[in-house]
Structure 1
Amino acid sequence: MNLTRRMLVLAAAVTAVGSSYGADRAAGEGGSLPALIRNARPSVLLIGTYGETDSPRFLFRGTGFVVAPNNLAITNAHVLPDVLEDDPSPRRLIVQTASPGATSNKWTQREVQVLKIDREHDLALLKVDGPAIPVLPLANDQLAQEGASVAFMGFPIGGALGFSLVTHRGTISSIAPIALPQAGAQALNEKFIRQLRQGTFNILQLDATAYPGNSGGPVFDLNTGAVVGVINMVLIKGARETALSHPSGISYAIPVESVKRLLVRPE
């Protein structure tokens, strides 16, 4: 079976698993936010680098989550180190997963491979080593709608909160075209947003505040529990340093259809 056909078969499996998982969750758990958090927690990943001579040894970079069987995971491309292969130190990319039964601050370190990078949509496809991790359901492309209630999960402000998984609620306030900057999409200011409005694909604008560390985290539709997007950046006022002290309350997410295209796109 050639690579293209294998990826198409994988996409079908992802759709089937995601649809079943989302339906079971909504029916069995009543679609409540506490149930969504409880079910999603094992699938959300800490992403960073590990070096024996680093202090601390684990350097957090962002959030990711498992989207398909065989531990295939998604994060933002800008979460990955710029140059890891040429680094003379023994530093390597790793993820940390929630230990079975853990509610917070208990993590297991795993090796990870970068399979694909989509710079245009600031996405990266990873494969996590080790035992199977639960797959988060991916929504239908049409599910994301303006006015829909959503929640997103991740690790805001990195280790400052002890790597506790944090959930925020919000609304999809707008779906508008945009072109992402090619070098780093963690934060944008008002002027840059205006310049990017002549964009090439739609992006979800959320009336909720994401922080450094949320990048790459899943955005869920609260009615179905399915993933509708990937947190990508936050609108800031003034200098980047003000993102914590004066948050704008506006964040952006890549729609889930870009994730699906990355899963089926041949090398």
Structure 2
Amino acid sequence: MRIIVLILAMGLPAVAARAEGPAVAAGSARLTPVVMAVQKVLPTVVNIATEQIVRVSDPFEPFFNDFFLGTPVRLQRQSVPLGSGVIVDPAGLLITNNHVVRRASNIEIRLFSGQTCPARLVAADSTHDLALLQITNLPAGTVLPAVGFARPDDALLGETVVAVGNPFGLGHSVTTGVLSAKNRSISEGTVTFNDILQTDAATNPGNSGGPLINLDGDLIGINLAIRRDAEGIGFAIPLRRIEEVVSRWLVPGKFGTGVAGFTVETTVREDTAEVVVGSVLPGGPAEEAGLKPGTRIRAVNGHPVAHALQVGQILWRLTPREKVSLDVGGPRPVAVTVREMTDEQLIRQRLALQVQELTPALQKALGLPATVQGLAISDILDGSEFALWDLRRGDIIVQIGNRPVRDLPALAALLRQIRPGDPLDVYLVATKSYGGDLYLKQFAVRAIVQ
């Protein structure tokens, strides 16, 4: 299956853009709060058109079957489902729904002017239906307009909200409504969401992945879906969950091989958003610098921060041996030096797995013949794509792509050559018991590198 993703952006300027439109005199009644919010957010919105090639029957197939030993001949045609996204970092990072870009083999950004730029998938989470894309090959010094963030959970029932997207491939469109409910429960496939925002703004299928904003023009959610059995009901993933997921992706290890060794969270104290340290990697650079969970971060490299995503906008750019300065309110800032990931850390980061080398003793314990060589899965971490394939502890990774893996350094060396977001074909061996006899099962799975 081949899928081509086409994203139409509202411009790719060297400086922050503004939505174009007719000149309106200051103080005009036409400059309503909705219009002003739309003018602020529209340049940050991208439109996504995915193009999928599917197989169809060829009317001449019986002829080829008769004369070419039954070889099937099939034609292909393209379908074009549509979605949206929003830029969250001036260097060209954007978020959308995972289902909008799932299994995409090619991503291209089409500017409002008609120019195009490629993009790549950096990270995806099917459980939360979110994905992070990066526009690539941007001209040096390009600064894109990025969406602003509301305070987490600062959404008022009945307040006016605006949904921006690309319904039905008609280009940018804007719809308004009110916030009808919070913490709604809806299901998408096998996943159930319990914190969804509900609005009566017309959010058609093409709005998926686009922003839901308040009248300040700040992001409060990502448009998710509409109920097919009800008119005028739309849903959005709330900002709190977006920050929890995306801030975990905006780290050096998602864009290179560095590790800072801490995560951040957004909290609200006395109606003010603050950033605190969520977790600290034992023995990592942040712990060695004295950083502790729960510590409030007031500024990063001299820039005040109030959202975890703002910290992530600085962290993801860092490479090994670079330093980041954290103002935690003490007499001097905390300086964290990014390190190169160890082999074990890299494997955990890229595969969300823990593996161990297959020793003779472990082979015997697992009932494997000596001819099976590889790495045994000892743990499947939260968020691992391999959990979707029903992998188990004790399954053996024998090959990745066309390269066999026998030890941790070999696997780590291979992963250092693969970018997060790339697909990975993993070949495994597992033992199965039938009627008291032990059999070997060989199988392969495809997952996205994390």
Using the TM superposition, give the Cα deviation of residue 128 of structure 1 relative to its aligned residue in structure 2, in angstroms: 1.4
**CA 1:50 to 1:200, structure 2 compared with 1: closer, same or farther past 3 Å?**
closer
* Candidates 102, 106, 110, aligned match of 1:96: 110
TM-score (structure 2 length as normaliser): 0.40
The answer on whether the counterparts of 1:45 and 1:98 sit within 8 Å (CA) in structure 2 is no
Please tell me the residue identity of whatever aligns with 2:94: A
Q: Secondary structure at the match of 1:135?
A: coil
Return the letter of the residue paired with 2:40: N
Aligned 1:168-179 pairs, distance under 5 A: 168-178=175-185
1:63 to 84, 88, 101: 84
Q: Quote the offset at 1:166 in angstroms.
A: 0.7
Partner of 2:44: 43
RMSD of the TM alignment (CA)?
Answer: 3.1
Where structure 2 has 5 or more consecutive residues not aligned to the other structure, the ranges are: 1-25, 53-75, 250-348, 350-450
From 236, 243, 267, give the equivalent of 2:228. Answer: 236
Offset at 1:179?
5.1
The structural deviation recorded for 1:230 is: 0.6
Q: Is the CA contact (8 Å cut-off) linking 2:41 and 2:218 kept in structure 1?
A: no
TM-score by length of 1: 0.65
Pairing 1:216–2:240 present = no
Q: Provide the C-alpha distance between the structure 2 equivalents of 1:95 and 1:233, rounded to a whole number of angstroms.
A: 23
Q: Distance in 2 between matches of 1:262 and 1:218?
A: 16
Q: Which has the higher contact order (CA 8 A, sep 6+)?
A: 1
| Alpha-carbon distance between aligned partners in 2 of 1:228 and 1:156, rounded to the nearest angstrom | 20
* Structure 1 position 109, deviation (Å): 2.1
Structure 1: where are the runs of 5+ without partners?
Answer: 1-27, 86-91, 100-106, 184-195, 238-246
Query: Which SS does the other structure have where 1:233 is aligned?
Result: strand
**How many corresponding residue pairs?**
198
Shift of 1:37: 2.0
Please list the CA deviations of residues 203-244 of structure 1 after superposition, one character each: whole Å capped at 9, or x if unmatched. Answer: 00101221121111101111x21110011000122xxxxxxx
Distance 1:207 1:31 in 2: 20
Q: Indicate if the aligned counterparts of 1:42 and 1:97 stay in contact, CA closer than 8 A.
A: no
Select the structure that is richer in strand: 2
Matches for 1:1-267 after TM superposition, within 5 Å: 32-49=33-50, 59=80, 61-81=82-102, 83-85=103-105, 92-99=106-113, 107-129=114-136, 130=138, 131-158=142-169, 161=170, 163=171, 165-178=172-185, 180-182=187-189, 199=192, 201-222=194-215, 224-237=216-229, 248-266=231-249, 267=349
Matched residue of 1:213: which SS?
helix
What's the secondary structure of 2:188's corresponding residue?
coil
Tell me the amino acid that sits aligned with residue 257 of structure 1. Answer: R
The percent identity for this pair of structures is 28
Which residue in 2 is equivalent to 1:189?
none
Seen in structure 2, the aligned counterparts of structure 1 residues 207 and 98 have a Cα distance that, compared at 3 Å, is: same
Question: Taking structure 1 as reference, are residues 231 and 157 closer, same or farther at Cα in structure 2, changes over 3 Å only?
Answer: same
Q: Which residue of 2 aligns with 1:24?
A: none
The runs of at least 4 aligned residues of structure 1 exceeding 6 Å deviation read 28-31
CA deviations 1:16-52 (Å, max 9, x no partner) are xxxxxxxxxxxx998722222223222111123479x
* Secondary structure, counterpart of 2:40 in structure 1: helix
Q: Which has the larger radius of gyration?
A: 2
Distance 1:215 1:114 in 2: 17
